[in-house]
């Protein structure tokens, strides 16, 4: 399945990180769809996400080349107003963009190691470039990685309701830095969901991605807060 008719749940299940890309450029129709969504996400999340069609030398670092990311034709620069909520917002809204890319038949990879000088992103005063997302047509579709159990990443007061369990199922499919899944999702007696960051590289971005997946799975969306 590779059309916009794919659901978010289907996109979550089918999407895996891809590090090796074909030379083929993304077509103009798909670029238009992605940019339209970027405009909407930027307004909603107070962000400055940017799709840069020519990745150029963004991934010219030795580690990137070793991983294969040097072949990525395009890149999404994750930029936004620099405050205490920025990294979580980047993860939350950036993953919505990643899932749309999957629906369009594209492949992606969140990448924290890249050449910030070469990415060509616009970073205004008061903004910060947090992370990048490689995007294009993969030479493969990636593969699933070993995952923790629901019990290892969640806590519930009493018996967990079905919506919470479904949310955890999707949260376990969220990409996280070094696949460490260093998060905990806790359900309180008032059915309030708490997302706990256990630390590590890009862990706040991970929390945003995990939150996006959990809300899609549970059917209970609640966007992360923004600083005033």
Mean of pLDDT values over 38-43: 98
- Per the CB < 8 A criterion, the answer to whether 72 and 109 are in contact is yes
The torsion region of residue 15 among left (phi > 0), alpha (psi -120 to 50) and beta comes to beta
Across the range 34-52, mean pLDDT stands at 98
- Residue 13 to residue 29: CA distance in whole angstroms: 25
* Residue extents of the structural domains in the chain: 8-136, 150-218
CATH superfamily of 8-136: NADH Oxidase (3.40.109.10)
pLDDT digits (tens, 9 = 90+) for 194-221: 999 999 999 999 999 999 999 999 998 7
Confidence of residue 227 (pLDDT cuts 50, 70, 90): low
Residue 184 has pLDDT above 90, yes or no: yes
């Amino acid at each position: 399945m590779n059309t916009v008719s794919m659901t978010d749940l289907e996109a979550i299940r089918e999407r895996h990180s891809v590090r090796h890309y074909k030379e083929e450029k993304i077509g103009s129709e798909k670029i238009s769809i992605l940019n339209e969504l970027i405009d909407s996400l930027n307004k909603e999340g107070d962000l400055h996400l940017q799709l840069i069609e020519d990745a150029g030398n963004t991934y010219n670092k030795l580690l990137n080349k070793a991983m294969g990311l040097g072949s990525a034709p395009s890149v999404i620069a994750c930029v936004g107003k620099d405050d205490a909520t920025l990294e979580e917002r980047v993860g939350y809204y950036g993953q919505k963009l990643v899932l749309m890319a999957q629906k369009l038949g594209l492949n992606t990879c969140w990448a924290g190691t890249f050449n910030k000088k070469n990415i060509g992103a616009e970073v205004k005063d008061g903004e910060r470039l947090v992370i990048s997302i490689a995007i294009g047509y993969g030479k493969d579709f990636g593969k699933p990685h070993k995952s923790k159990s629901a019990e290892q990443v969640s806590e519930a007061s009493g018996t967990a309701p079905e919506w919470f369990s479904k949310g955890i199922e999707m949260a376990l499919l969220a990409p996280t830095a070094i696949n460490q899944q260093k998060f905990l999702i806790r359900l309180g007696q008032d059915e309030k969901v708490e997302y706990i960051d256990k630390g590590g590289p890009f862990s706040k971005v991970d929390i945003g991605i995990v939150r996006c997946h959990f809300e899609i799975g549970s059917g209970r969306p609640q966007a992360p807060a923004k600083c005033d």
